[in-house]
Amino acid sequence: MNALLEMQGISKHFTGVKALSDVSFTVAPGEIHALVGENGAGKSTLMKVLSGVYPHGSYDGAIVFDGEERRFRDIIDSEALGIIIIHQELALVPLMSIAENIFIANPPGRFGIIDRGAVHRRTQELLAKVGLNESPDTLITNIGVGKQQLVEIAKALSKKVRLLILDEPTASLSEKDSQALLDLLLEFKAQGIASILISHKLNEVSRVADRITVLRDGRTVDTLDCSDGAVEEDRIIRRMVDRDLEHRYPKREPKIGETIFRVSDWSAYHPLHTDRQMIRNVDFEVKRGEIVGIAGLMGAGRTEFAMSVFGRSYGQKITGRVEIEGREADVSTVRRAIDAGLAYVTEDRKHLGLLLAEDIRKNISLANLDRIAPGRVIDDVQELKVASDYRSRMRIRCHSVYQETGKLSGGNQQKVVLSKWLFTDPKVLILDEPTRGIDVGAKYEIYCIINELADSGRGVVVISSEMPELLGICDRICVMNEGAFVGEFPAAEATQEKIMRAIMRKGEARP
């Protein structure tokens, strides 16, 4: 059997991080090939290499498509061969219609004048193919995410697709929409279109995939063939996380004291839709020296909860009570929340955490300038001392504290953000996805820092989508779903299955 696609020995570096090393990956004609792995395992990077987002020359290895070696300069080159990628973040223009979006690059017509009749007709054909019952003139902003996903696929079909790449297509879809989408993939398969499916949802993967390739830390670990009976999910998971778990998380003897942080009856509404309650009368508490994890799926309301508490940075009509060290705390603005002893380390450090064009020194002092600026004039020697001190304490790898933070690796950037918040001397830290986009070695260091924070008598909250991480570092794990806490486990009793079950039985279990 001749492979449709062969990626041979692909390696790709980023500043300080090896994202892919010697990955090989093949797709047969008309095959659904799933690509699984933890966050940061290299799935998206591999697909960006394939689609030409990272052009030939920026990686090592070869891409053979249809028996010929290909050197894509950009995404246009790969699309010309029928390799179409649909990214996790949909790339549709919200205020244009479905038809306009589908034919955004190459509308049918002559001499640059769009043939609107043809656009309409062909859009209708495509929408029928993907089973979307909407008028071609409907604006994208007026349809839900599930339908938008179908529009993306219709757009791909308009380009004579031969290999369709879907990056976590069902991550934000409801169960029903997900099923419909997967059925569509099976239908394409029958028509001879091959697909690469990147997904975290193993039940979906094992339902539709012909083969499953597991990536771990930028390497191909295994390719499992599903033709001889379904592959057990446990086996996939084992291959995904198969690391020496003993050494992934630093050991710690928790010394847990009295309650340091208590949130009671906390509610918040969506910032735009006033009647959508995002956080539903939540109660939450953290003890001194304790690391509490918050588990949940994307959109469960974890970040929204944390940000609404931290100076009302999210939502509106926020009500509830916050106590820090037994006293009611005023957290109505970010400044007051910081002064009350609260710190929130964002999940999106590039957009919400760092001044990327500024140096390490200025980033670290930013949230507590008053401490190095008596009389509002900055004492630059003091500032430098502070920065140098955190540089060595946090082991920030840089050639000087005057280095721009935009040029640091993800792990070192995260250490700068953590330094910034430690410099505010918080009593309670909320860390939102603290190890996202960070390589394994740096993760370990971040875990050590988290442990030290707890051991120094602070309360630590860790929001994470990586369950093994929560199980590895937390003393207690709370599970959140649809804006409410739906379960709680001491670390010793928690397992991935239990957490998952707590998330799944949402509807029936809520009091």
Beta bridge partners of 431: 345, 462
Q: How far is the CB of 356 from another protein (least distance, A)?
A: 7
The 8-class DSSP code of residue 266 comes to: E
Considering beta carbons, is residue 347 or 475 the nearer one to another protein?
Answer: 347
Considering beta carbons, is residue 18 or 70 the nearer one to another protein?
Answer: 18
DSSP letter for each residue of 119-143: HHHHHHHHHHHHT--S-TTSBGGGS
Distance, CA of 57 to CA of 61 (rounded, Å): 9
Considering beta carbons, is residue 57 or 67 the nearer one to another protein?
Answer: 57
Considering beta carbons, is residue 306 or 503 the nearer one to another protein?
Answer: 306
Strand, coil or helix: 40: coil
- Which one-letter amino acid corresponds to residue 146? G
Q: How far is CA 2 from CA 7, 26, 422, in A?
A: 13, 10, 57
Q: How far is the CB of 358 from another protein (least distance, A)?
A: 6
The alpha carbon of residue 203 and the mean position of all alpha carbons in its chain are separated, in whole angstroms, by 20
Q: How far is the CB of 312 from another protein (least distance, A)?
A: 11
Q: How far is the CB of 345 from another protein (least distance, A)?
A: 10
The 8-class DSSP code of residue 405 comes to: G
Contact 162, 82 (CB under 8 A): yes
- Vertex 400 angle, CA 397 and 404, to 5°: 85
Q: How far is the CB of 392 from another protein (least distance, A)?
A: 7
Q: How far is the CB of 402 from another protein (least distance, A)?
A: 7
Interaction site with another protein (CB under 8 A):
13-16, 18, 310-311, 313, 333-335, 337-338, 344, 346, 351-358, 362, 365-367, 369-370, 373, 376-378, 380-381, 384-385, 392, 395, 397, 399-400, 402-403, 407, 420
* Burial annotation 343-379 (CB, 10 A radius, 16+ → b, else e): bbbbbebeeebbeeeebbbbbbbebbeeebeeeeeee
Q: How far is the CB of 371 from another protein (least distance, A)?
A: 10
Distance, CA of 332 to CA of 319 (rounded, Å): 10
Considering beta carbons, is residue 171 or 440 the nearer one to another protein?
Answer: 440
Q: How far is the CB of 186 from another protein (least distance, A)?
A: 42
Q: How far is the CB of 57 from another protein (least distance, A)?
A: 16
Considering beta carbons, is residue 140 or 462 the nearer one to another protein?
Answer: 462
* Burial annotation 97-119 (CB, 10 A radius, 16+ → b, else e): bbbbbbbeeebeeeeeeeeeeeb
Considering beta carbons, is residue 353 or 437 the nearer one to another protein?
Answer: 353
* Burial annotation 247-256 (CB, 10 A radius, 16+ → b, else e): ebbeebeeee
Considering beta carbons, is residue 137 or 370 the nearer one to another protein?
Answer: 370
Q: How far is the CB of 366 from another protein (least distance, A)?
A: 5
Q: How far is CA 342 from CA 307, 327, 345, 459, 499, in A?
A: 11, 13, 10, 10, 27
- Residue keyed to tokens 């549709």: 92
Longest dimension (CA), the chain: 76
Considering beta carbons, is residue 181 or 306 the nearer one to another protein?
Answer: 306
Considering beta carbons, is residue 106 or 392 the nearer one to another protein?
Answer: 392
CB atoms inside a 10 Å sphere around CB 82:
18
